[in-house]
């Protein structure tokens, strides 16, 4: 049924060792033999069995990638960078959708281990201690992307979230805003939650501006979350002329609620997002945001998972000024 190396060897009248040498571009055969074998391969439609190769110790050239939501713009861009780089290096990518809470991660780790993947890229947000322990026990390279280990000592690729949030907040401050609302993620989240909040606080403190707790809310980074938070601000009668939302989707949600409430952006309210996904470009008005180089981060994560190297790869964020920020009217 299946064509194997034995069939090729038989058809070309050589040994299976010779076929293997030819297929793998090793030395030790004549050009005449090579022609015979390649001809037989083509006629039979032989395709080497990667499973057998893996069994005799060859690399599987497969990595696993754990992402919280493959259909999000954020994760999609990471995945694109990972996959493009993997392809360039002859690797394939098993994608695992862990769900927003990462609850499905453990099952995936078992499966990836059985398939003997060469490494795992973990971009799944919150890591539990169980997950960290299990990742360590696998004894294969693990790299975290856009996050860093809550447990264990895995290398990671990320921006400086505190500094990025600091710069975003300072952008609003430089435009003269002093009453700035903030929508963050959960403070328990050590990457997207707390450091972005701290960056915001630090920028406000540097200008000796008081922190008004009624201008602080925490969401889940989704479009709907941003819409809800902004709606709550408005219903609570909160007074602010600018808002920093720590994801583009939340920021676009804010734009939505503002649109519905007749709040003009940027005339009445300046808004800054975080990530620079396609959502920021597609927003009306086009969203000013602090950019994480998601695609490049994905590439770097792949490079790191197949080679040893730095434990901390910090990528540069940068401000992308579009049309949602205006100086405060005096």
What is the closest distance, in whole angstroms, from the C-beta atom of residue 70 to a copy of itself in the complex?
5
List 43, 49, 115, 214, residue binding DNA (CB under 7 A) = 49
What is the closest distance, in whole angstroms, from the C-beta atom of residue 25 to DNA in the complex?
10
DSSP assignment of 25-68 = T-S---HHHHHHHHHHHHHHT----HHHHHHTT----EEEEEES
Alpha carbon distance 294, 277 (integer Å):
8
Alpha carbon distance 19, 21 (integer Å):
5
**83 contact, one of DNA, a copy of itself, none, CB 5-8 Å limit per kind:** a copy of itself
What is the closest distance, in whole angstroms, from the C-beta atom of residue 306 to DNA in the complex?
18
**φ, ψ (nearest 5 deg) of residue 258:** -60, -45
16 part of the interface to DNA, by CB under 7 A: yes
53 part of the interface to DNA, by CB under 7 A: yes
Q: Could you say which DSSP state residue 211 is in?
A: P
72 part of the interface to a copy of itself, by CB under 8 A: yes
**φ, ψ (nearest 5 deg) of residue 210:** -70, 150
**104 contact, one of a copy of itself, DNA, none, CB 5-8 Å limit per kind:** a copy of itself
List 18, 62, 169, 289, residue binding DNA (CB under 7 A) = 18
Closest by CA position to 161, among listed 185, 180, 127: 185
Tokens 């009624």, located at residue: 214
271 part of the interface to a copy of itself, by CB under 8 A: no
Alpha carbon distance 212, 39 (integer Å):
77
4 part of the interface to DNA, by CB under 7 A: yes
What does the binding site for DNA look like in residue numbers (CB under 7 A)?
2, 4-6, 13-18, 20-21, 23-24, 26-30, 32-33, 46-49, 52-53, 55-58
């Amino acid at each position: 049924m299946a064509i194997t190396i034995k069939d090729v060897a038989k058809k070309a009248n050589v040994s299976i060792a010779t076929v293997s040498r030819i297929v793998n571009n090793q030395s030790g055969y004549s050009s005449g033999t090579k022609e015979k074998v390649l001809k037989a391969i083509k006629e039979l439609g032989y395709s080497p069995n990667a499973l057998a190769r893996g069994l005799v110790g060859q690399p599987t050239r497969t990595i696993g990638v754990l992402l919280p939501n493959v259909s999000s713009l954020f994760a999609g861009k990471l995945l694109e960078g990972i996959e493009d780089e993997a392809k360039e290096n002859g690797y394939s990518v098993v994608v695992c959708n862990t769900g927003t809470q990462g609850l499905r991660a453990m099952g995936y780790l078992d499966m990836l281990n059985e398939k003997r993947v060469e490494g795992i890229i973990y971009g799944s947000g919150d890591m539990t201690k169980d997950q960290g322990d299990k990742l360590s026990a696998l004894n294969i390279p693990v790299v975290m992307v856009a996050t860093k280990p809550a447990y264990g000592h895995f290398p990671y690729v990320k921006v400086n979230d505190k500094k990025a949030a600091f710069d975003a907040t300072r952008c609003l401050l430089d435009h003269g805003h002093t009453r700035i609302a903030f929508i963050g993620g959960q403070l328990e989240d050590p990457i997207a939650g707390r450091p972005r909040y701290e960056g915001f606080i630090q920028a406000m403190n540097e200008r000796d501006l008081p922190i008004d707790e009624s201008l602080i809310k925490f969401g889940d980074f989704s479009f709907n979350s941003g819409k809800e938070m902004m709606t709550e601000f408005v219903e609570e009668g909160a007074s602010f002329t600018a808002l920093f939302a720590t994801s583009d989707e939340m920021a676009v949600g804010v734009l939505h609620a503002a649109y519905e409430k007749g709040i003009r952006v940027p005339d009445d309210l300046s808004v800054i997002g975080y990530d620079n996904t396609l959502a920021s470009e597609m927003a009306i008005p086009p969203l000013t945001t602090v950019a994480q180089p998601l695609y490049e981060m994905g590439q770097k994560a792949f490079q790191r998972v197949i080679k040893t190297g730095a434990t901390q790869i910090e990528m540069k964020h940068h401000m992308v000024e579009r049309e949602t920020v205006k100086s405060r009217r005096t």
